Amino acid sequence: MANHSQFGFQDASSPIMEELVEFHDHALMVALAICSLVLYLLALMLMEKLSSNTVDAQEIELVWTILPAIVLVMLALPSLQILYMMDEIDEPDLTLKAIGHQWYWTYEYTDFKDLSFDSYMIPTSDLPLGNFRLLEVDHRIVIPMESPIRVIVTADDVLHSWAVPSLGVKTDAIPGRLNQTSFITTRPGIFYGQCSEICGANHSFMPIVVESAPLNYFENWSSLLSS
């Protein structure tokens, strides 16, 4: 999860988030190169005497037309690749349905017969020692590690948004509509998120907690909860 005074992203815990972080670094390097070139040209124009050599120079006009097009292609190609990867859902091992309410989440494991629960934020007065304020819930989502997970997101009342930054997931929950996303966790751990759409007075108090665990732990948890 994020720390105080943190400027970068949270540690990536899914392949999609790793690609997003890599694309972010790539775009920053392109922006740095552009800024460096512009600053160099500005400094050159301020320090050098004015010259009319470039008043009718077709070569430089050709360069400053083609160069921006190349930069746009360098940004567009990896961006489109990641967009298609985020939209690809291929034979998930588990399907989870997330339903947004004011102000809590309901989760249904659709591959199981009777496995659903409501997830409320734990009030500060009831928070166990060592847990995170405004982020911990009474029922966590538990998923098997290194397994493709499909999440179907909808809402019961107003607009919500199901978002977990370290997994690279953010999907709007719209009443009367089913949106879907997918992810794979690459390591065990507990990942925190929040509703990312202003949904009323208690919008800040409907966190999301995803616990990634080995398959045998998930099987024991699911059998215990559904019994």
CATH of the domain at 124: 2.60.40.420
Per-residue pLDDT, 227: 66
pLDDT (average), residues 177-199: 93
Q: With a cut of 80, say whether residue 50 has pLDDT above it.
A: no
β-sheet with 189-195: strand ranges across? 141-144, 207-213, 189-195, 160-164, 169-173
Whether residue 119 sits in one domain with residue 205? yes
Q: Residue 144 domain-assigned?
A: yes
- This prediction's pTM: 0.84
7 located within any domain: no
- Output the pLDDT for position 130: 86
- Considering the domain architecture, whether residues 114 and 55 belong to the same structural domain is answered as no
Is pLDDT larger for residue 56 or for residue 154? 154
Q: How many domains, the chain?
A: 2
Helix (H) or strand (E) holding 86: helix 58-87
- In Å, how far are 65, 129, 154 from 39, measured between CA atoms? 19, 52, 48
- Cβ-based neighbour number of residue 42 at 10 Å: 10
Which positions ≥6 away from 106 have C-beta within 8 Å? 98, 99, 116, 117, 118, 119, 156
pLDDT at residue 53, as a whole number: 56
Mean pLDDT of 84-94: 86
Q: In terms of domains, do 117 and 187 share one?
A: yes
Residue 104: the pLDDT is 94
In this structure, the answer to whether residues 135 and 188 fall within a common structural domain is yes
Please indicate, yes or no, whether residues 138 and 26 belong to a single structural domain of this protein: no
Confidence (pLDDT) at 55: 57
Examine the domain organization and report whether 79 and 133 are in the same domain.
no
- Look at residue 56 in the predicted model and tell me its pLDDT: 62
CA distance 171 to 152: 9
pLDDT at 52: 56
Within-domain flag for 8: no
36, 65, 85 - which closes a domain: 85
Point out the domain boundary residue: 21, 52, 85.
85
**By mean pLDDT, which of 45-54, 113-122, 204-213, 216-225 is the weakest?**
45-54
What residue numbers bound the domain in which 35 lies? 13-85
